[in-house]
Chains A and B, each alone.
Chain A
């Protein structure tokens, strides 16, 4: 089973129902949002129109936040959902810095990170996530096992994200990064260690050798 939420930008009327439903369902403190609607205005007045997308955790196939988390508070489930185990979260905020979509938010009231949970408590009962259930236009759709439905022109489909977008404009116009970012924590890390350790070892070797040579001379 590969859970999936699809957003259709043509159907979104920017009513923010998804935001409110998410806040209520997940008991999110004021000032923190797990789902939010991003809007931008296209064209010049009077021929201008508002475009909007609903953004939350993308539940990446290979999530940077899971790789970054030092306490195992984030884990990838077999159904594709990136789960946040709140009791293990220490509020270090490394996931916030690692997420390429800037999705996780720090909750000062709870002292931990919060992000979309895919309303796992609802979907495991056979319901759809709160944001999908309350969307009045069908811009958000939930598929309990929907991988096969996707065509490659969906934003995030090729990268196997579990929150994908059917966009009628370029993704960058909606503020989404293009191309879809990969897990930088794992893919970059080995080179960073090498770039630090190798010259570091060379400098130490030089310092210690110089000191030995000097002692020999004495």
Chain B
């Protein structure tokens, strides 16, 4: 039994961090394509990314014992601390994702310096923003996994955790990016997004299978180790196991897999359902990993 040092706020922070990284990646993919639908996706996902990042950082700060001293993490660098590396990634990614979102907003407010900043970014820095942003987005998704997997908590000490968090972040970020595009486009019908939705459906086939395999490796691997076997059984058995198999694996991955492999004509509505499924699954996964790891469930 371990002390529950990290609770729901940290689970939400991990979750929003994943959405932020994933939606930025989707925004970059969308911004490199032409057409109204892709522009709407780039806009929706690019705006979602800094908002989700802000929520993640807000949750992290809210969880601190001394909230008003969070700035000490920014004035210090400990290159061997995943948390210190992560904080710096969050700061840099926050800036990059904001600048990128600024470039994707179709109608900017009539404020001089904002328009000047955008034209400067578009004329010189678009490529840099994309490349650095992608690197940082992947880093933001991964660092939470690295942070947990180097601790002394047996369930978290798992090599697959960083990649699992990345895949979860990408799936939720992509799906929520499209959802955000639907909301921001203010169209009566969402069918105009069918091209990006169909593209994501093709890509989801591999990503979701990979996600499922990584998740299975993550939860079965500890059973074959001496130190983590008990924690592994705690995750996949009992009440937590029920939530794990039904919520995380069933709703979060298997249902979306069934949707993307069905031969029927795909629609944005179906993709919205996938968004809801992967969002629920991703959140439940983080809550379970966090709480079962600390012996609370």
Contact = CB atoms under 8 A, between A and B. Distances in A.
Interface string B260-287: 0000000000000000000000000000
Interface in B152-198: 152-153, 156-157, 159-163, 165-166, 170
A151 interface: no
6 contacts: A92-B63, A108-B65, A112-B66, A192-B145, A193-B142, A211-B33
Given A106-B65, A197-B138, A208-B29, A98 B170 contact: no
B145 A196 contact: yes
B76 interface: yes
Contacts of A192: 82, 145-146, 149-150, 159, 161-162
Given A100-B152, A200-B166, A211-B32, A195 B159 contact: yes
Given A91-B65, A196-B138, 16 more contacts: A70-B78, A71-B73, A90-B64, A97-B6, A110-B65, A185-B150, A189-B150, A196-B162, A196-B165, A200-B141, A200-B163, A200-B166, A203-B207, A207-B203, A208-B32, A211-B32
Contacts of B147: 94
Contact of B146 (A97, A99, A189): A189
Contacts of A199: 163, 166
A91 B25 CA distance: 32
A145 interface: no
Contacts of B25: 204, 207
Contact of A185 (B80, B87, B156, B207): B80
B257 interface: no
A89 interface: yes
Among A106, A199, A214, residue most surrounded by chain B Cβ atoms (within 10 Å): A199
Given A71-B76, A97-B151, A188-B157, A91 B66 contact: yes
Interface in A182-218: 184-186, 188-189, 191-193, 195-197, 199-201, 203-204, 206-208, 210-212, 214-215
Nearest to B80: A67
B111 interface: no
A96 B10 CA distance: 15
Please classify the interface of chain A as helix (H, G, I), strand (E, B), loop, or mixed, using the class held by over half of its residues. helix
B2 interface: yes
Contact of B78 (A72, A96, A108, A204): A72
A100 B206 CA distance: 38
B83 interface: yes
A90 B66 contact: yes
A111 interface: yes
Please classify the interface of chain B as helix (H, G, I), strand (E, B), loop, or mixed, using the class held by over half of its residues. helix
Contacts of A76: none
Contact of A91 (B64, B76, B142): B64
A68 interface: yes
A13 interface: no
Contact of B150 (A93, A98, A207): A98
B240 interface: no
A164 B269 CA distance: 63
B81 interface: yes
A92 B65 contact: yes
Nearest to B87: A70
A188 B160 CA distance: 12
Interface in B45-70: 63-66, 69-70
A50 B78 CA distance: 44
Nearest to B130: A208
Contacts of B29: 207-208, 211
Among B64, B145, B161, residue most surrounded by chain A Cβ atoms (within 10 Å): B64
A90 B203 contact: no
B36 interface: no
Contacts of B76: 70-72, 88
A54 interface: no
Contacts of A191: 159
Nearest to A208: B29
Contacts of A184: 150-152, 157
Given A185-B81, A195-B160, A197-B142, A102 B65 contact: no
Interface in B100-140: 134, 138-139
Nearest to B169: A200
Contacts of B207: 203
Contacts of A212: 32
Interface in A148-182: 181
